[in-house]
Structure formats: structure tokens, C-alpha cells
């Protein structure tokens, strides 16, 4: 399997889901807009909340990861064939080499201040930063989500074993309880007097792996049901797919208005709108029409496959662009953003083809030998 740990490959055996791959690029793009393009078109229009929904897009990645991993590895008739050590190595091979390169680029830029906190670099090297409030975004900011995802993939073999031994009922009950508990805790803490942006409580709410686990398991269970043909394909599937996209878009755009109406802060980053994302994934996975044909175009699939590099390299490459180009050429912020975006996309494609893929093969072949 040509798989990602955080941005899992949708090129799996038995089921071809290339139409989903491009959605990873769209989600990663929203993260880039969230970090660097908050005031450029189309983020400066009424679509602002949807275009800059980067943190919510990360939640989509968690759901997608669980969904694709279930489709790729859930094989009831071959339970004994699953090798968790080979699986963990494959995930490490896919994620860590480019994660390490991005981290080292940031370290090189901040080497003068690294001694100010001796714990930050070891935590990031060990992908443990999301567990410790105050550390998730101290170096390469996007890396916190990989720290979360590493925990999910550590858990994955045991989720698979649970399904094999006990079926889906126990895990469904656990997931529903976990989802409800997460949302209650999230809303309570987010709306408490103790909450403040960039505080330790903020770090726990938004970055701690346990606060995101519900999304990954929900995606995993949905993938199991999909693999078992539990979803009926409707002749109106394309219509329902468009409706699911519209639902997600409306939820994103009108979240601030909804907060004003109900009088509390809402966060869609921890699985609150996971049901909408799951509907979208199921309808898109079942799509066999025009949308699927378009999304399965080779160049769009390539953008999806390169989305991990785009995501993890955005901060160090933005620093390089800012220092070498933006500070020396007087252009508007909008033009600079789009030049940087093109630069980032090209770099991510090159990274995927000439670094990520060879390194993954090298590490996996070492295991086989």
C-alpha cells in the first residue's frame, strides 16, 4: 500500500478511491490560507470562514485517515496476516523523513534561541509536542497535528483487533460516548472564564491527541461499514454529495452567526461536525459519475499525493520565501501570497516525487531485507 500516515494514500487494493485524494489538497490549501492568506482573495470575501478553515481541515484529515486505513487494512478473512510492526514502520517511513526535514529547516532558522528551552526540540523530534501544553507549536507549527496522528496510528492495530474479536458494537458505543464527552468537555472549557487564547488550556483543547481521537475512530468505523457494503448506493448519490458539500460550507460560513444566536463559542476542530464530513466521504467514495471522473484526473491526484509536503513544508518555505524574495521585491501582499503558493506547490510535488517516495521505499525495503 502506498500509504500516508497523516495524509493517507487513497490508492488501496480492492477499492480505488482516487476521487478522494484531491480533497486532501483542498484541505491542505485551506491551512495555508489560514496561516498566510487571511486577507487575500477569496479569503477576503463572504467565503472567508470556509477558505481559511485550516484547523477544521485538520479534523477532516483525521477522519479521512481513519476511513482510508480501515479500507486499506480491514480484512476479516485475513485477520492473522496483519503485522503491526510492519504497519508502524510503513507509517514511519511515509511521514517521518519529510517531517524531520521540515523540522530541521526551522531549527536552522531558530538555532540561536533553541537553548532557551531545552525540551522543545526533543519533544518535536519524538513527535510528542501535542501532549504537553505550551509546546505544540513552538517549532514547526503544522507538526503538532503529526504528533496527534502518530498516536492514532499507534492505536490503529488495537482498534482493528477490537473489530476482529468483538465486532463493531462495542466500538460504536465507545465512539459515541467519546464523541459526546469530547464535545461537552470542549464546549465547557472553551466557554469557561479560565479560557484564553494561546494559554495552556487552549493548547489542551485544540492540540491534545485525546481531544481528537473521536474523529479518527469515527472515520475508522465508517470505513469498516463501507468495506462491508453497509451503505446503499443511491441513483441520486451525486445530488447527495453536492448537498453534503453545501452543508459543510454553510456550517463553516455561518459558524460566527450561529455562535451569536446560541450565545456560546463553538469549535468545529474536534469532531463537532464529523457527521457532515463522514456523509461527504461516503457519498464521494460511492461517486462514479462526472465528479469522480474529474477528481480522478492524474494531475489532481498528484496534487493530493503531494499535499503532505505542502502541509508540513509551508512554514519553513514561507520563511525562505519571505527572506529571499518578499523582503526584496515590493509587491502587494496578495501577489506575494500567490507567488509563494505556486512556489510551495511546485516544491511539494518535487518533494513527493523525489524525496518522500524514494525514502519510503528505502525504509520499507530495509525492513524486507
Q: What would the mean pLDDT of 2-21 be, rounded to a whole number? A: 56
Angstrom distance (rounded) from CA 355 to CA 244: 36
pLDDT value, residue 222: 97
Please report the pLDDT score of residue 78 as a whole number.
61
In tens, the pLDDT along 95-108 reads 999 999 999 999 99
Helix (H, G, I), strand (E, B) or coil at 111: coil
Question: What is residue 111's predicted lDDT score, i.e. its pLDDT?
Answer: 83
Give Cα 139 distance to the centre of its chain.
19
Q: State pTM to two decimals.
A: 0.92
Dist. CA 295–CA 304, nearest whole Å: 10
Residue 114: its pLDDT value, please? 83
- 77 versus 177: the higher-pLDDT residue is 177
DSSP 63: H
> Helix (H, G, I), strand (E, B), or coil: what is residue 34?
helix
* C-alpha cell read off for 162: 477490537
Interatomic CA distance for residues 209 and 27, integer angstroms: 20
| pLDDT for residue 79 | 60
Decide if pLDDT at 17 tops 70. Answer: yes
pLDDT of residue 208: 98
pLDDT at 209 (0 to 100): 98
Asked whether the beta carbons of 3 and 72 are under 8 A apart, the reply is yes
Question: How confident is the model at residue 15, as a pLDDT?
Answer: 59
DSSP letter for each residue of 245-309: HHHHHHHHHTHHHHHHHHTS----TTSTTHHHHHHHHHHHHH--SHHHHHHT-HHHHHHHHTHHH
**CA nearest neighbour of 129 among 98, 159, 103:** 103
Summarised one tens digit per residue, pLDDT across range 56-74 is: 999 999 999 999 999 999 9
The whole-angstrom separation of Cα 210 and Cα 91 is 20
Residue 81 has pLDDT above 80, yes or no: no
Which of these ranges, 1-15, 48-62, 92-106, 294-308, has the smallest mean pLDDT? 1-15
When the pLDDT of each residue in the chain is averaged and rounded to a whole number, the result is 92
pLDDT higher than 60, residue 2: no
Nine-digit cell at 331? 509587491
pLDDT in tens, 335-368: 999 999 999 999 999 999 999 999 999 998 887 7
Assess contact for 347 and 309: CB atoms under 8 A: yes
CB 34 within 8 A of CB 54: yes
Strand partners, 11: 16
The confidence score (pLDDT) of residue 281 equals: 97
pLDDT band at 31 (very low <50, low <70, confident <90, very high): very high
**Set of cell numbers at residue 329:** 521585491
Confidence at residue 10, expressed as pLDDT on a 0 to 100 scale: 40
pLDDT of residue 9: 44
pLDDT at 313: 98
pLDDT tens digit string along 182-239? 999 999 999 999 999 999 999 999 999 999 999 999 999 999 999 988 888 888 899 9
Among the listed ranges 8-22, 103-117, 171-185, which one has the minimum average pLDDT value?
8-22
Q: What pLDDT score was predicted for residue 70?
A: 94
Amino acid at each position: 500500500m502506498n500509504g500516508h500516515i497523516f495524509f493517507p494514500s487513497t490508492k488501496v487494493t480492492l477499492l480505488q478511491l482516487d476521487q478522494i485524494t484531491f480533497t486532501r489538497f483542498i484541505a491542505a490549501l485551506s491551512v495555508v490560507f489560514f496561516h498566510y492568506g487571511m486577507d487575500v482573495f477569496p479569503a477576503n470575501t463572504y467565503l472567508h470562514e470556509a477558505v481559511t478553515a485550516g484547523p477544521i481541515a485538520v479534523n477532516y484529515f483525521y477522519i479521512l485517515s481513519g476511513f482510508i486505513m480501515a479500507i486499506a487494512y480491514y480484512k476479516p478473512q485475513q485477520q492473522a496476516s496483519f503485522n503491526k510492526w510492519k504497519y508502524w514502520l510503513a507509517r514511519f517511513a511515509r511521514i517521518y523523513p519529510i517531517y524531520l526535514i521540515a523540522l530541521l529547516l526551522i531549527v536552522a532558522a531558530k538555532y540561536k534561541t533553541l537553548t532557551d528551552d531545552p525540551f522543545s526540540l526533543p519533544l518535536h523530534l519524538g513527535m510528542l509536542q501535542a501532549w504537553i501544553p505550551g509546546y505544540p507549536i513552538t517549532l514547526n507549527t503544522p507538526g503538532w497535528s503529526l504528533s496527534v496522528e502518530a498516536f492514532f496510528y499507534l492505536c490503529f492495530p488495537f482498534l482493528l483487533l477490537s473489530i476482529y474479536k468483538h465486532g463493531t458494537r462495542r466500538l460504536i458505543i465507545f465512539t459515541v460516548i467519546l464523541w459526546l464527552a469530547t464535545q461537552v468537555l470542549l464546549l465547557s472549557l472553551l466557554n469557561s472564564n479560565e479560557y484564553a487564547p494561546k494559554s495552556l488550556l487552549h493548547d489542551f483543547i485544540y492540540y491534545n491527541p485525546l481531544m481528537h481521537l473521536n474523529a479518527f475512530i469515527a472515520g475508522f468505523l465508517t470505513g469498516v461499514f463501507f468495506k462491508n457494503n453497509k451503505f446503499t448506493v443511491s441513483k441520486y448519490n451525486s445530488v447527495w454529495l453536492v448537498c453534503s458539500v453545501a452543508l459543510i460550507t454553510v456550517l463553516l460560513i455561518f459558524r460566527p452567526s450561529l455562535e451569536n444566536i446560541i450565545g456560546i463559542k463553538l469549535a468545529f476542530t474536534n469532531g463537532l461536525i464529523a457527521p457532515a464530513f463522514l456523509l461527504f466521504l461516503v457519498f464521494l467514495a460511492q461517486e462514479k459519475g462526472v465528479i469522480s471522473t474529474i477528481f480522478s484526473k492524474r494531475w489532481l491526484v498528484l496534487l493530493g499525493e503531494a499535499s503532505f509536503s505542502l502541509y508540513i513544508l509551508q512554514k519553513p518555505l514561507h520563511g525562505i520565501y519571505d527572506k529571499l524574495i518578499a523582503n526584496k521585491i515590493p509587491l502587494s501582499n496578495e501577489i506575494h501570497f500567490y507567488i509563494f503558493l505556486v512556489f510551495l506547490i511546485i516544491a511539494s510535488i518535487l518533494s513527493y516525487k523525489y524525496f518522500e517516495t524514494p525514502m519510503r521505499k528505502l525504509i520499507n525495503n530495509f525492513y524486507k531485507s
